[in-house]
């Protein structure tokens, strides 16, 4: 065999081997953490306090930073108006928390509060969900099989729940939670549910505040995308799901607690979802609070929240301990969840 034929055969073998490696290689899942960044600016007229995340995924980080930059730019472009001898300070506060479905799907909920004069501050919610492995933004339709009636089912579920709220107005609710995709753009995904957020004025008056609707995956099992939920175990229910803070988050003097109950020993009673204690490294109680349910508590899943103000003193680490609202008083019905946190 001449050298030319040997070279051609060798070259073909190398190409085939390379193709086999390429098509059989495993995708390395996203395993990076979330890094928090801050912007702090203040003068006599304006105060800006912003926290925002990065993932170490260039495309995602650029999109989030562009969003934050636009918030700052728009706020600074608002013309400052003094009120005679009364000097007021305009303010922009943006905070966030994250939630995951599996390793790679990550949601961010940004809570925006701004004040530029008037009777009360403005509030808004902005949500992004990403496939961190692919570096792509995900929309709601991408979680469902094509041509399914996901929007109708989510809308019907939301309208029925919202009509049970104290401030419910049928016309308002159906306009803000009706079968229109624009009504459901503010959402996150969690371990076992979608959460849809409705800022003030979307489904209720300002006094009702922000409203949430939690839609469990288990009620949508037949239309969820197999590419995302193919290995999902719909039977798992931990009963309590903490959205904020996440394990290991850092705090200095304030922690915003948010989450929801879904049974399995965790159930609301008389408007309360239980209580939470914040302990220091020596297990001393720094502060505590009941877990408030801002809306209708006679349902599952049900959203809860609490605000903790504290002084960590010399402690660098702490623990949040959640207790269920054990109406029976029986020891066998007591539940507890422990979540480590860090102090700045």
Q: What is the pLDDT of residue 344?
A: 80
* Residue 1 confidence class, pLDDT cut points 50, 70, 90: low
Is residue 115 included in any domain, yes or no? Answer: yes
φ/ψ of 69, rounded to 5, equals -60, -40
Dmax of the chain from CA atoms?
A: 99
**Residue 248 and residue 212 in one domain:** no
Per the structure, the count of domains in the chain is 3
Say if residues 225 and 144 touch (Cβ distance below 8 Å). Answer: yes
* Residue 15 confidence class, pLDDT cut points 50, 70, 90: very low
pLDDT in tens, 226-259: 999 999 999 999 999 999 998 888 888 999 999 9
Is residue 269 included in any domain, yes or no? Answer: yes
Range of the domain at 111: 35-138
Is residue 80 included in any domain, yes or no? Answer: yes
Name the β-bridge partners of 48: 41, 92
The better pLDDT of the pair 43, 30 is held by 43
187: exposed, middle or buried (Cβ count in 10 Å: 0-12, 13-18, 19+):
buried
Can you give the pTM of this predicted structure?
0.85
Type and span of the H or E element at 241:
strand 240-244
Around Cβ 180, how many Cβ atoms within 10 Å?
A: 12
52: exposed, middle or buried (Cβ count in 10 Å: 0-12, 13-18, 19+):
buried
CATH of residue 215's domain is 3.90.640.20
Distances (CA, A) of 93 to 71, 72, 99, 112, 149: 10, 10, 20, 6, 37
Residue 291 structure tokens: 């877990």
């Amino acid at each position: 065999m001449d050298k030319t034929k040997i070279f051609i055969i060798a070259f073909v073998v190398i190409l085939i081997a390379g193709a086999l490696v390429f098509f059989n290689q495993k995708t390395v899942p996203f395993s990076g953490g979330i890094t928090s960044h801050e912007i702090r600016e203040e003068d006599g007229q304006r105060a800006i306090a912003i926290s925002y995340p990065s993932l170490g995924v260039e495309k995602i980080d650029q999109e989030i930073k562009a969003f934050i930059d636009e918030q700052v730019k728009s706020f600074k472009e608002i013309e400052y108006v003094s009120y005679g001898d009364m000097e007021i300070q305009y303010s922009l506060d943006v905070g966030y928390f994250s939630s995951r479905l599996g390793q790679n799907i990550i949601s961010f909920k940004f809570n925006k509060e701004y004040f530029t004069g008037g009777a009360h501050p403005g509030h808004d919610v902005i949500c992004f969900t990403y496939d961190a492995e692919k570096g792509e933004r995900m929309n709601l339709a991408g979680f469902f099989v094509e041509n399914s009636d996901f929007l109708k089912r989510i809308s019907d579920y939301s309208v029925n729940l919202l009509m049970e709220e104290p401030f419910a107005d049928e016309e308002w609710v159906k306009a803000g939670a009706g079968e229109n995709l624009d009504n459901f753009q503010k959402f996150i995904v969690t371990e076992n549910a979608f959460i849809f957020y409705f800022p003030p004025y979307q489904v209720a008056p300002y006094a009702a505040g922000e409203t949430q609707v939690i839609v469990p995956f288990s009620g949508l099992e037949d239309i969820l995308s197999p590419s995302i939920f193919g290995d999902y175990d719909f039977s798992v229910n931990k009963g309590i799901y903490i959205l904020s803070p996440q394990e290991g988050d850092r705090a200095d003097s304030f922690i915003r607690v948010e989450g929801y109950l879904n049974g399995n020993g965790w159930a609301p009673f008389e408007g309360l979802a239980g209580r939470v204690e914040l302990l220091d490294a020596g297990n001393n109680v720094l502060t505590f609070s009941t877990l408030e349910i801002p809306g209708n508590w006679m349902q599952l899943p049900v959203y809860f929240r609490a605000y903790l103000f504290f002084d960590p003193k010399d402690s660098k680490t702490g623990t949040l301990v959640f207790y269920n609202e054990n109406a029976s008083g029986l020891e066998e019905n007591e539940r507890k969840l422990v979540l480590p946190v860090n102090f700045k």
